[in-house]
Chain A
Amino acid sequence: MKAVSIPSGTNLTALYRELVGDYPKFFKMDTLSKLGFLLTEMLLQGTEGRFTPREDRAVLVFSRNGSLANDINYAKRMEDFPSPALFVYTLPNIVAGEISIRNKYEGETSAYVLENYDRQLIESIVREAFQDRITRDAIVAWIDCRSDSEWTAQAWIETK
């Protein structure tokens, strides 16, 4: 099983410029979504038929803190002007959407906030996702973004 991770404190803009460079929407994303976007780039770059629309791959994202880091940024910004551009990232499931939009996935997307990293629980949720008749594999990620510079971020692909 291929797995990738991004160490806490990595310069995400530099990593984006190294890996991608032509997806300006990256700059709009909050740190949680940037991490999800970059993890999947590391997982998927060079795979055949990468951007062909498909609905048989799920995106399942897990974390402890959800979108809390961006929620705090948004709360600070509300003292001046409540920025709609920040507001759109005040939901922890947006990262799953960003991954799906980038890769043209049209299947199951879910975001779960867990009390702690629990691999057994994650595996059971992945198995549940495989119960439908469509999903054949899943991008699974644990992205716990504690602040814009401190996180745990790893992703892997599981097959039915």
Chain B
Amino acid sequence: MENLINELKLKIIDALNLDGMTPEDIDNNAPLFGDEGLGLDSIDVLELIVLLERNYGIRLDSPSKGKEVFQSVAVMAKYVAENRTK
């Protein structure tokens, strides 16, 4: 799981153009959205949805599912591990 978490962090940094950020800057359990964690916003959800579909064959059907999956990198990794098709 640790490898997947690290892989996801790298993909998030790339997809969202977080230029200069390193995986160490992202706490596994910190919220991805809002002021407390990574500071992502609703615009970034689209990028994360595309990231999951392209890299892991996962399609999220509703925004509410995104809210659940994108709580933190750790939650995201668990969901990917359980639902990936590639």
Contacts and interface: CB of A to CB of B under 8 A. Distances in A.
Contacts of B43: 84-85, 88
Q: Mostly helix, strand, loop or mixed at chain A's interface?
A: helix
Contact of B20 (A13, A25, A83, A84): A13
B17 to A, nearest CB: 6
Contact of B16 (A12, A16, A28, A73): A28
Contacts of B21: 24, 27
A75 to B, nearest CB: 14
Interface residues of B, number: 17
Nearest to A17: B20
A68 interface: no
A62 B44 CA distance: 28
Contacts of B20: 12-13, 16, 27
A122 interface: no
A85 B38 contact: no
Given A13-B20, A83-B17, A24 B47 contact: no
A86 interface: yes
B82 interface: no
Interface residues of A, number: 15
A24 B40 CA distance: 9
Contacts, number: 39
A88 B38 CA distance: 17
Nearest to B44: A85
Interface in B8-49: 15-21, 25, 37-40, 43-44, 46-47
Interface of A: 12-13, 16, 23-25, 27-28, 73, 81, 83-86, 88
Contacts of A88: 43
A113 to B, nearest CB: 23
Nearest to A84: B43
Given A24-B38, A84-B46, A85-B15, 19 more contacts: A12-B20, A13-B19, A13-B20, A16-B20, A23-B39, A24-B21, A24-B25, A27-B18, A27-B20, A27-B21, A28-B16, A28-B39, A28-B40, A28-B44, A84-B44, A84-B47, A85-B16, A85-B43, A86-B17
B5 interface: no
Nearest to B18: A27
